[in-house]
Chains A and B, each alone.
Chain A
Amino acid sequence: MGSPRMTLQTQLVLRALLEDPAKQRYGLELCELAGLPSGTIYPILARLEQVGWVDSTWEDPAVHEEAGRPRRRFYQITQDGAERARDALARAYQARKQPLPGWAARPASDGGVS
């Protein structure tokens, strides 16, 4: 199983999912958490699901029937996915710390190394 390309948007989605890894989130909720439009979220979620980082299930009938709306699709980060995502996010973060060739390194005051 491969890894998704860690674009900025993918990182945002992963961060949103990792905020509370035990919680199931639906698409629009993730849009808000990640601050991304709906169109961006779904391809990313589909990819994350393909590589096994994310699981998706339909909402429990009792809940959506009580609320009187169609069932939602819920996404949750898998245990393996959470580990690999944290790892990938950390690497992406480090990569951003590296100056691009020909560019000066960021001053230490800009975020610093924690």
Chain B
Amino acid sequence: MNDRRRLAPRQDTRPCPTSSLSGLLAVVRTHHPDADLSPLQHAYNEAAIWHAGQTRHSGDPFITHCVAVAAIVADIGMPPAVVCAALLHDIEDTPCPPGRITERFGQTTVDLISAVRTTRLDEIPPSALKLGNAPKPLQPTREEAVLAIRLADRLHNMRTITFVPPTRQHRVARETLELVTPLAKAAGLTDVGRELHDLSSAVLRPATSTLAMTPPLLTVLTLLLPATQRARWREEWHAELRTLTTRGARTRFTARILLSAPRLTLTLRHPIRGRRW
């Protein structure tokens, strides 16, 4: 799942917006060359102070998530005020006193952050959103800004979903596929929509989308079967294998399937017609 295409560059290839403030500032500068970037620096410091000590499921410091989300928001072309709110979008989960953000970043930013937290995605009318091909620099409406931050938040969560417990992975992926992906596409954010779709499908259909997870032997075995039936048996056996906890049990399961494959092939290729087999 980690190898799927990403909107922003991967962390290990070069210093990039998802890992550093300087990268983030560079992205904002490409879209808004004349903007004053000092609020972003302050927002980063603020987030770093209050999120200090918090970690993600991956073990990464929480601030990496704030920066990554802000970078995606910046990449969409959002103005610095929205990127600022993106950096601070989880600040309410910290001991930061409520008045402090108002004092330093203004009421508009605080309102935007609250809207990001309270807006229900299924209540945003998709017709109200035109992010993909709007003239640059973007002057987003409140709804568009909220959506941009929420989408970026979800995109980064989906990129790092491997670290989340499986039960939650499936719930989040299902919601992403059914609700969030269509919104991203409706808003004209094709790349974001495509990546969300790919990442959530990979969670929901591991047997078909990550073939590598099926033991190669089982996959080879299914080649004996009629072509139309291969996917079904591969998926069925894969699901059973995943529930076996010991290596020995998995090996026995696979070996038994291997031994019976010719029999199954015969059964599937030669349906009985009124006679015994």
List A residues at the B interface (Cβ < 8 Å): 1-5, 26-28, 37-40, 42-43, 46-47, 50-51, 61, 64-73
Contact = CB atoms under 8 A, between A and B. Distances in A.
B242 A65 contact: no
Nearest to B261: A39
B167 A66 contact: yes
Contact of B167 (A3, A39, A67, A70): A67
B271 interface: yes
Nearest to B174: A65
Contacts of A66: 167, 170-171
A43 B271 CA distance: 12
B276 A5 contact: yes
A37 to B, nearest CB: 5
Interface in B150-181: 165-171, 173-174
Interface string B253-277: 1011111100110111001111111
Interface string B178-209: 00000000000000000000000000111100
Contacts of A40: 256, 260
B267 A43 contact: yes
Contacts, number: 97
Given A4-B277, A5-B277, A39 B258 contact: yes
A46 B267 contact: yes
B271 A50 contact: yes
A2 B233 CA distance: 23
B272 A42 contact: no
B170 A1 contact: no
B264 A46 contact: yes
Contacts of B272: 2, 4, 47, 50-51
Contacts of A50: 267, 271-272
Nearest to A28: B240
Q: Which range contains the number of B residues in contact with the other chain?
A: 35 or more
Contact of B268 (A4, A46, A61): A46
A69 B165 CA distance: 11
Contacts of B65: none
Contacts of B238: 70
Contact of A38 (B167, B257, B276): B257
Contacts of A42: 233, 257, 260, 264
A72 B236 contact: yes
A40 B264 CA distance: 9
A61 B207 CA distance: 14
A28 B238 CA distance: 12
Contacts of B173: 65
Nearest to A1: B274
A43 B260 contact: yes
Nearest to B257: A39
B13 interface: no
Contacts of A67: 167
